[in-house]
Structure formats: structure tokens, C-alpha cells
Amino acid sequence: MKPLANPIYGGSVRKIIGKKKVREATGLSDVTVWRLERKGDFPKRIALAPNRTGWYMDEVEEWQESRPRGIEARIIPQNRCLA
């Protein structure tokens, strides 16, 4: 997603989304997002205020696009086989 133009500074502004929008967009719980973030498998949040954080929407969208699709996405436990 292309960042919005910022007419005041002449640069671009990246859209920031909150926890609720991240949950809606990904279908993941707050705890799962936190665990993935700690492992480095989800975009890092940014501090907006002492009790408010958010994520850059373009980074969350890139993460979504990087997820495996189809049969490759299935996780098969090592002690089981498909037969």
C-alpha cells in the first residue's frame, strides 16, 4: 500500500492501525499477535502514547501476503503421517 501524501511536510504518512483492527484483519488473538511479535514473526508495534500502541498497516498487509497458502500451510505433527 502506498503511504498517503502529507501536504504539510511534503513527505508521506503511513497509516497506523490499533489492536482491534489488527485482530479483525488477521483473525489472531491479542496473545497470539504478542507471541509472534516476540519471536520476530509479526511486525513490531509502535508506541503512540504511554498506554497506546499500533502497527503500520502496510507492514501488517505485507505479513499477511507472506503467509503460506493452500496445502503447504498445513502443519503436520512429526509423529503423524498422512496416509
Report d(CA 12, CA 6) in Å as an integer: 5
What is the reported pTM? Answer: 0.71
pLDDT of 77 over the 90 cut? no
pLDDT in tens, 62-76: 999 999 887 766 666
Tell me what pLDDT residue 50 has: 94
Tell me what pLDDT residue 68 has: 87
Mean pLDDT, range 23-40, rounded to an integer: 96
